[in-house]
Amino acid sequence: MDDAAPDLVTAVIGFRQWRLRGDELWSFRAAERWSRGLHTAHCTAHAHAAPANGCTCGIYAWYSPAPRGASAMTPDLVAGAVALWGRIELHAHGMRAQYATVVALALPFSWGAKRRRIRAAADALEVEAVPARRLKATALAHGDVIPRRMRPPDTTPNKRAAPGEPAPARLYAVADGYRDRQRSRPGDHAA
Q: Under the rule (CB under 5 A), what is the footprint of Zn ion?
A: 43, 46, 52, 55, 57
Nearest to Zn ion of 46, 116 (CB atom): 46
Contact partners, residue 189, CB within 8 Å, separation at least 6: 37, 38
Phi then psi for residue 4, to 5 deg, are: -65, 150
Angstrom distance (rounded) from CA 140 to CA 103: 9
- Shortest distance (Å) from residue 93 CB to Zn ion: 20
| Least distance to Zn ion, CB of residue 27, Å | 16
Q: Which is nearer to Zn ion, 4 or 47 (CB)?
A: 47
Q: What is the C-alpha to C-alpha distance for residues 108 and 145, in angstroms, rounded to an integer? A: 23
Q: Which residue, 43 or 171, has its beta carbon nearer to Zn ion?
A: 43
55 or 169: CB nearest Zn ion: 55
* Whether the Cβ atoms of residue 174 and residue 86 lie closer than 8 Å to each other: yes
Q: How far is CA 25 from CA 2, 31, 102, 122, in A?
A: 37, 11, 10, 10
Q: What is the nearest approach in angstroms of Zn ion to the Cβ of residue 90?
A: 16
The nearer residue to Zn ion, 87 or 151, going by C-beta atoms, is 87
Ramachandran class of 107: left when φ > 0, alpha when ψ lies in -120 to 50, beta otherwise: beta
Minimal distance, residue 60 CB to Zn ion, in Å: 13
Min dist. Cβ of residue 58 to Zn ion (A): 8
